[in-house]
Amino acid sequence: MYIVQIASECAPVIKAGGLGDVVYGLSTELENRGNCVEIILPMYDCMRYDHIWGLHDAYKDLWVPWYGGAIHCSVFCGWVHGRVCFFIRPNSGDNFFNRGRYYGALDDHLRFAFFSKAALEFLLVSNKRPDIIHCHDWQTGLIPVMLFEMYKWHGMWNQRVAYTIHNFKHQGVAGANILWATGLNNDAYYFDYDRLQDNFNHGAINFMKGGIVYSNFVNTVSPHHAWEARYSDISCGLGHTLELHNYKFGGILNGIDYGMWNPDKDRYIPNHYNQETFDIKAENKKALRERLLLSQDEDKPIIAYIGRLDGQKGVHLVHHAMYYALGRGAQFVLLGSATNQEINNWFWHEKNHLNNNPDCHLEIGFNEELAHLIYAGADMMVIPSNYEPCGLTQIISLKYGTVPIVRGVGGLVNTVFDRDYDANHAPEKRNGYVFYQTDSHALESAMDRAIGLWQHYPKEFRELALQGMDYDYSWKDPGEKYLGVYEYIRA
């Protein structure tokens, strides 16, 4: 099958969070199964060019219709750890992708509407006719709309679209100018509850809703989150739309790419280990402490947090976990970045406050290499999310024998099974700690059990970590499921 992934991220060249990991990991799995996969991405100024090999011109003069005129673009092609990627660079004064960051500009709607249009235009003029176009998140929600309303009539009549929603919080709610810019134009037609009109703001269009309405298949990234999306307010107003389209909506659990995330061959960690050589993990703990100037205290576990510092991730509980861990005689390591200025200032304040504490390190920013060392060196990972469509940090932690302590929401429910209470899994199949409420007592109860086990029953704790490593959350199973979806919508 010929599959084109269109997304705003692909790890490790462009990565702000899990979306990047998913686009890379899924593409690799599909390719390993004998499919032809290409990835279309924006060419950001701030992406990691050191992860692209053989970057070259692929299409020199791509003219993308935009408002009444057209914008000249260049398309480059290169290999990102084996995957063929096309990067679209608009050569206009708008500087759509030269902003020093991936997201968070005032004109994000225009930037990604343009990218979506340019990606389709590129497929059209370069005569690429994939069997499947797989789009991700709000940034590419307009692709199926433009494909089935416009490009179909220009010769792309045989393509099918799968649309994956990684986060319902960001939907791309914008004004009518997007319709004029992209050439969809017809306001009266698109401002319709059954098409693009936002379910609450009737004067706006909603990119993600467009993706749901027009795609041949829609999914979110775990079965439990698919249920939450339909039956709770977590889908931020799109619940009714999902209900109307439930015949083509489901949940497919994300995997991780064990080529990139594997303690047995991870190139960013100093000491490789697997289940048989698990005790070598302790060497990475030493290396992590050395790197972060923490005290080498054998009696203390390291509890870590890696992730965006964002309301979604339960930052108030992350903050509480830090002080609770220190109070319980553990060390705490945090790696996170915040786009919200208040949260950013808050954690910088904490960082300064704890600067001389030999048991705590806060690293504020995005650092892929350090993340690998933390997964390998920490004993536990705390993930107290408010909501979590899938969550990759717990899946990576399990692979690295780092015991996850999670709040029971979204994909966390599908992947972490409480050591003491999970009724659906035999004791030897349990792999972490789960709490449910959003208050600090709930978090403490789970952390208390985890730290207690580490301190008083080290053999049992080791066993728990090994049971986590037993789980196979590779792309094998999800890859098969996505292929099933592709086959289904082609038929």
- The residue among 337 and 474 lying less far from ligand ADP, judged by its C-beta, is 337
Distance CA 146, CA 228 (A): 29
Question: Which value, to the nearest 10 degrees, does the dihedral of the CA atoms of residues 43, 47, 53, 56 take?
Answer: 20
What is the smallest separation between the CB atom of 284 and ligand ADP, expressed in angstroms? 16
CA distances from 176 to 114, 171, 207, 294 (A): 14, 15, 12, 54
404 binds ligand ADP (CB under 6 A): no
393 binds ligand ADP (CB under 6 A): yes
Distance CA 169, CA 419 (A): 31
What is the smallest separation between the CB atom of 33 and ligand ADP, expressed in angstroms? 23
Instruction: Give the x/- contact pattern for ligand ADP in 260-299, rule: CB under 6 A.
Output: ----------------------------------------
What is the smallest separation between the CB atom of 96 and ligand ADP, expressed in angstroms? 23
- The residue among 19 and 179 lying less far from ligand ADP, judged by its C-beta, is 19
Q: Which amino acid is at 487?
A: E
What is the smallest separation between the CB atom of 403 and ligand ADP, expressed in angstroms? 16
Hey, what are 325's tokens? 């861990």
Distance CA 246, CA 252 (A): 14
432 binds ligand ADP (CB under 6 A): no
Give, in degrees to the nearest 5, the angle at Cα 25 between 133 and 490: 30
What is the smallest separation between the CB atom of 69 and ligand ADP, expressed in angstroms? 36
Residues 6+ apart with CB under 8 A from 401: 263, 273, 275, 278, 281, 465, 466, 468, 469
- The residue among 182 and 402 lying less far from ligand ADP, judged by its C-beta, is 402
Helix (H, G, I), strand (E, B) or coil at 407: strand
Q: Give bridge partners of residue 173 from the DSSP assignment.
A: 206
Q: Considering only residues 334-373, where is the footprint of ligand ADP by CB under 6 A? A: 335-337, 366-368, 371
Q: Is the peptide bond before 130 cis (omega within 30 degrees of 0)?
A: no
- The residue among 17 and 210 lying less far from ligand ADP, judged by its C-beta, is 17
Closest CA to 361 of 376, 375, 369, 351: 351
DSSP state of 117: H
Distance CA 145, CA 116 (A): 10
Q: Which residue is nearest to ligand ADP (CB)?
A: 18
Instruction: Give the x/- contact pattern for ligand ADP in 12-51, rule: CB under 6 A.
Output: -----xxx-x------------------------------
CA distances from 204 to 108, 195, 200 (A): 15, 12, 9
Count how many residues are written for the chain: 491
User: In b/e form, how buried is each residue of 443-459, taking b as 16+ CB within 10 angstroms?
Assistant: bbebbebbbebbeeeee
255 binds ligand ADP (CB under 6 A): no
Selected binder of ligand ADP within 156, 392, 409, 464 (CB under 6 A): 392
- The residue among 87 and 387 lying less far from ligand ADP, judged by its C-beta, is 387
What is the smallest separation between the CB atom of 15 and ligand ADP, expressed in angstroms? 7
- The residue among 368 and 463 lying less far from ligand ADP, judged by its C-beta, is 368
What is the smallest separation between the CB atom of 182 and ligand ADP, expressed in angstroms? 27
Q: Considering only residues 300-339, where is the footprint of ligand ADP by CB under 6 A? A: 306-308, 335-337
What is the smallest separation between the CB atom of 217 and ligand ADP, expressed in angstroms? 21
391 binds ligand ADP (CB under 6 A): yes
CA distances from 89 to 102, 353, 487 (A): 14, 43, 32
- The residue among 9 and 149 lying less far from ligand ADP, judged by its C-beta, is 9
- The residue among 21 and 108 lying less far from ligand ADP, judged by its C-beta, is 21
Count of residues near ligand ADP by CB under 6 A: 18
- The residue among 122 and 168 lying less far from ligand ADP, judged by its C-beta, is 168
Interaction site with ligand ADP (CB under 6 A): 17-19, 21, 306-308, 335-337, 366-368, 371, 390-393
